[in-house]
Amino acid sequence: GDSVTQMEGPVTLSEEAFLTINCTYTATGYPSLFWYVQYPGEGLQLLLKATKADDKGSNKGFEATYRKETTSFHLEKGSVQVSDSAVYFCALYFRGGTLGRLYFGRGTQLTVWP
Amino acid sequence: EAGVAQSPRYKIIEKRQSVAFWCNPISGHATLYWYQQILGQGPKLLIQFQNNGVVDDSQLPKDRFSAERLKGVDSTLKIQPAKLEDSAVYLCASSLDGRRGNTGELFFGEGSRLTVL
């Protein structure tokens, strides 16, 4: 069935370091792909999305490109900040008929030190 | 625009007791979801409503969990009786009409953290 495999954490970086969090997926058809973020004490919120192959989603300096050939949607940021410390979830949305379902990865905890 | 409201934020109960969580989605959102997030795991869908009808409850443990959305607006999730393994954060989310135009952008509440002793 449809699923998302996400890089295990935790990830600890110094401020201004480069970030990559890997995400690969298994799906039939053509899903939409998402990164959601959960800041401490807050609910999940959408960070970025891509709805078709080769699309690049971007927001707040984060980017991810929908790669159909490698079934991947890796999250990247060139220079992380302390405020980026959060849990990041890769997610896949697949619609079967009229019903759509959002599948989440396990989440990757990111801690950025000053 | 007000976000998704959930209550209570925290609840501690003993096993075999019952608990109920409430959710009020964003105004105008037809689709409402309840997710269970166990520590160290990603959220898992329990039930999905389209207006006041259930469209997916395939992963809801129906022997102990129930949910309703009687008027197609707010919703209640109940667990009775609770087990230790039900300790988790229960997330409510809403989105625009799930039948068309929805590409998976959900709006989440802050969650209700349940601890079962």
Q: What number is the average pLDDT over the span B70-95?
A: 94
Residue A71 one-letter amino acid: T
The reply to whether residue B43 touches residue A89, judged by beta carbons under 8 angstroms, is yes
Q: Who has greater pLDDT, A93 or A86?
A: A86
The number of helix segments (H) and strand segments (E) in chain A equals: 0, 12
Chain A partners within 8 Å of B109 (Cβ):
43
Beta strand segments in B1-117, E: 5-7, 10-13, 19-24, 31-37, 44-50, 53-56, 65-68, 75-79, 88-95, 107-108, 112-116
The reply to whether residue B42 touches residue A45, judged by beta carbons under 8 angstroms, is no
Tell whether the model's pLDDT for residue A43 goes beyond 90: no
Tell whether the model's pLDDT for residue B112 goes beyond 90: yes
Q: What number is the average pLDDT over the span A84-94?
A: 93
Q: What number is the average pLDDT over the span B48-58?
A: 89
Tell whether the model's pLDDT for residue A100 goes beyond 80: no
Strand partners, A100: A95
Tell whether the model's pLDDT for residue B103 goes beyond 90: no
A101, A113 in Cβ contact below 8 A?
A: no
Residue B116 is given by DSSP the state: E
Neighbours of A95 (CB within 10 A): 18
Q: What number is the average pLDDT over the span A6-24?
A: 94
The Cα of A77 is separated from the nearest Cα of chain B by a number of Å equal to 22
B110 touches chain A (CB under 8 A): yes
Per-residue pLDDT reduced to its tens digit, B16-35: 999 999 999 999 898 999 99
A26-29: long-range contacts, CB 8 A cutoff, minimum separation 24? A26/A1, A26/A2, A26/A71, A27/A2, A27/A3, A27/A71, A27/A92, A27/A94, A28/A2, A28/A94, A29/A94
Q: What is the pLDDT of residue A101?
A: 81
Q: How confident is the model at residue A29 (pLDDT cuts 50, 70, 90)?
A: confident
Tell whether the model's pLDDT for residue A93 goes beyond 60: yes
Tell whether the model's pLDDT for residue A50 goes beyond 70: yes
3-state secondary structure of B85: helix
Strand partners, B76: B22, B68
Q: What is the pLDDT of residue A94?
A: 80
Q: How confident is the model at residue B101 (pLDDT cuts 50, 70, 90)?
A: low
Q: What number is the average pLDDT over the span A59-67?
A: 97
Q: What is the pLDDT of residue B99?
A: 57
d(CA A55, CA B114): 38
Q: What is the pLDDT of residue B105?
A: 85
d(CA B88, CA A20): 28
Q: What is the pLDDT of residue B78?
A: 98
Per-residue pLDDT reduced to its tens digit, A72-85: 999 999 999 999 99
Residue of B103, B107, B113 to mutate, testing the A interface (most A Cβ within 10 Å of its Cβ): B103
Q: What number is the average pLDDT over the span A46-73?
A: 95
- Residue B62 token pair: 């129906």
Q: What mean pLDDT is reported for chain B?
A: 91
3-state secondary structure of B84: helix
